[in-house]
Amino acid sequence: MDGQDPADIKMGNVDEEENSVVAHGTAILGIDPEGGEAVLFKDLEVTNSKVKLSAYLAIDGNLNKSIELGELTGTMGTVKSTVPLGTDTSPYNTVVLRDQKSKKKVAVIEL
């Protein structure tokens, strides 16, 4: 995401507590240096490491109007979720983290 026009980057912070999960960090939607676009989670910290989280790019936090980005590969530090190639990301304004087991939203991050 380095080297791109900052106006093309969408970014938001997460600082949420939902049930037994606390999430902190920054989500950045931008161009992936490896091709296409990605959501990069920086300084991510999820307190319940037993939870398996999936990330979604959504319109107003609505999972019925979302694209699943897949399971997060980690819950600490920098984690990248790739956006499917060819996706028009312009209508999406939130990233949703959801517990795979309970299907409950853990965090909604406004971009």
Check if the beta carbon of residue 107 is closer than 8 Å to that of residue 24.
Answer: no
Question: Does 6 score more than 80 pLDDT?
Answer: no
Task: Pick the closest to residue 39 from 5, 3, 73 (CA basis).
Answer: 73
Cα dihedral angle (29, 67, 18, 100), rounded to 10 degrees?
-130
Question: Does 69 score more than 60 pLDDT?
Answer: yes
Taking the CB of residue 46, how many other CB atoms lie within 10 A of it?
24
**Structure confidence at residue 50 (pLDDT):** 77
70 vs 14: which has the higher pLDDT: 70
pLDDT tens string 22-34: 788 999 999 888 8
The pTM for the full model equals 0.83
**Structure confidence at residue 19 (pLDDT):** 59
Question: Does 1 score more than 60 pLDDT?
Answer: no
- Per the listing, tokens 């999972």 go with 63
**Structure confidence at residue 4 (pLDDT):** 55
Check if the beta carbon of residue 16 is closer than 8 Å to that of residue 23.
Answer: yes
**Structure confidence at residue 7 (pLDDT):** 52
